[in-house]
Amino acid sequence: MRGLAVAVAVAMAFLLHGQSTWLPLSREVERPFAGAMQRVGSNAHTAVRPYRLSDVRALEVNDSANTFSLLPALDRWAGVRNGRSFRWGPLLDAQVLYDIDSAKSGVGHRAGAGFWLEKDLLDKLSFHVDAQAWSERFPTYLDTLVRATQVTPGEGYGFGEAPAYTHYDWNGYLSWDPGKAFNLTVGRGKNSFGEGYRSMFLSDEAYSYPYLKVTTTVWKIKYVNLFSMMNDIRGADGDVADFNRKYTSMHYLSWNAGKRLNVALFESIVWSQGDSLYPRGFDVNYLNPVIFYRPVEFAVGSPDNALLGGGLNVKVGKQSLIYSQVLLDEFLMREVRAGNGWYANKQALQIGVVSRNAFKVTGLMLRAEWNYVRPFMYTHSDTRQNYSHLGQPLAHPYGSNFQELLLYGELVDARWRHSLRASMAWLGRDSTYSNGNNIFRPESDRFIDADGDPQNYGYHVGSPKGGTLLHVEMRSGFLVDPSTGTRIEASYMLRMRTPDSGDVAMANVFRLGLVCYFRERHPEQEVRYVLD
């Protein structure tokens, strides 16, 4: 049955015609429109992704090199360029890699195939499904991650045994515009809230999930209600029937307060489906689309995991943006001022700047970003309700107790893309007791003092010292198909892990082949926990 499900699910999607459809959640596919969406005076809400196709089509973009495929005959046949209501196309990955690790070296590969399907059912109703399956032999550092977590980064459960794994992902949705201001989408996929390369709120790092999304756009305001079902895979040994279900309910309010200013509010709650003694399922109390969740928690006596955050984004110059996010789990001002590292002060912070056509160089994009996450952020006393899905964090891949500086430069010249991305992270680490690094450990699992009580103070970002992680990647490629983000690409990655003691771990990874960026890929990963 699993093989049949994979075979049926291998379908992929992107379209340029239906009004109620969405672009893929991919920076590569979004690139032709990103500058116009971000420019001064635009009313686009660029932190809410994926983007509505109708919003993108309203932009004044004239870039044929980034709009049409090099395969026009296939495009016309598949309906991408001729306005047919039914469209489809292939998605392909074919890469080889050579990994020079400090411990060993070897040849790896990534081979994937799939296709997309899309149908305009009515003028305001569209259907989409996409899927892809891969066979992959990872570089050593990612192979270690798959062994520890049982999942491939953002692309599903890793079936098989080292050194080669198979995995698959599929997305689909039914999108309906019941009115000019409303969109209702039900499906399976990913969503993201934030302007940065990372997001402290919700990113596309984790695997796809079922969701119901209600989007309201009025005047200069966009309001998103997102309800989803997540999985905790611990103890299931890959058996989907044994995954523990949990649910999330999120609100994201984006207000373009001026030509250069955007203010955002985010809130989320995570709760478990319960167990045989207390079967709970989906809590209808969290269906209210306009209330804050913390009062609901208090009203129903709930121990659920609630998060509250805000964003402030300012456009400077012609095409630059300063962006920020602050996310709070628990917060007590007197403890923050004391600076004693109270365990329950759980916050995450992001500050960044991105500039397009930087220094008046057409096609040059530069980004600098700092991410800071305190210990115990995103975890919970009931770890079934932590901020994760299928073994991965829903926000930053490093979980909590770290800070990261990221620099990113990209140059686009017609169909050529060249990029350099470097990140340095300072990591804390867990020991026999939790120091707030592992979001799958309860916050109560702290060091026990002489009185037999958990230690409440002394938890600071990056301590106990867990070392540093440097990740540098250079890419150069030629765009083949903008609608799926497919390009012929060569890349080189340097990864250096400096522990608090012992030898430095270094890896050099060379890649060459056909790369499909229909799904965003995040190679910066680190083993922060082991899932049983």
The separation between the first and the last C-alpha atoms of the chain, rounded to the nearest angstrom, is 25
Name beta bridge partners: 254.
222, 264
Q: DSSP assignment, residue 503?
A: P
pTM beyond 0.85: yes
Do residues 469 and 499 lie in contact, with contact meaning Cβ atoms separated by under 8 Å? Answer: no
For the stretch 93-135, pLDDT in tens is: 999 999 998 777 899 999 999 999 988 888 889 999 999 999 9
Q: How many helices (H) and strands (E) does the chain have?
A: 8, 24
How does residue 394 score in pLDDT terms, banded at 50, 70 and 90? very high
Instruction: Determine the average pLDDT of the residues in 164-176.
Output: 95
Task: Please give the Cα distance from 190 to 24 (Å, whole number).
Answer: 9
What the block records as the tokens of 132 is 């892809």
Cα 125 to Cα 13, 22, 129, 196, distances in angstroms: 16, 12, 14, 31
Q: Which residues contact 239 (CB under 8 A, 6 or more apart)?
A: none
What the block records as the tokens of 398 is 């490093």
- Please give the backbone phi and psi of residue 30, each rounded to the nearest 5 degrees, phi first: -75, -20
Do residues 172 and 184 lie in contact, with contact meaning Cβ atoms separated by under 8 Å? Answer: no
- Please give the backbone phi and psi of residue 286, each rounded to the nearest 5 degrees, phi first: -95, 10
Q: Counting every residue, how long is the chain? A: 532
What the block records as the tokens of 296 is 């609901």
Environment class of 184 (CB within 10 Å of its CB; exposed 0-12, middle 13-18, buried 19+): middle
Residue 8 has pLDDT above 50, yes or no: no
- Pick the most confident of 117-121, 157-161, 315-319, 510-514: 510-514
CA 482 to chain centre: 21
Task: Give the chain's mean pLDDT.
Answer: 87
Which CATH superfamily hosts domain 2-516?
Answer: Capsule assembly protein Wzi (2.40.160.130)
Do residues 361 and 166 lie in contact, with contact meaning Cβ atoms separated by under 8 Å? Answer: no
Task: Please give the Cα distance from 383 to 232 (Å, whole number).
Answer: 9
For the stretch 67-86, pLDDT in tens is: 556 566 666 666 665 667 88
Instruction: Determine the average pLDDT of the residues in 384-405.
Output: 95
Nearest to 400 by CA among 428, 381, 373: 373
In this structure, of 112-126, 207-221, 315-329, 398-412, the range with the lowest mean pLDDT score is 112-126
Every domain of the chain and the residues it spans: 2-516
Instruction: Label residue 160 left, alpha or beta by phi (over 0 means left) and psi (-120 to 50 means alpha).
Output: left
Instruction: Determine the average pLDDT of the residues in 361-385.
Output: 94
In this structure, of 117-121, 199-203, 256-260, 354-358, the range with the lowest mean pLDDT score is 117-121
How does residue 337 score in pLDDT terms, banded at 50, 70 and 90? confident
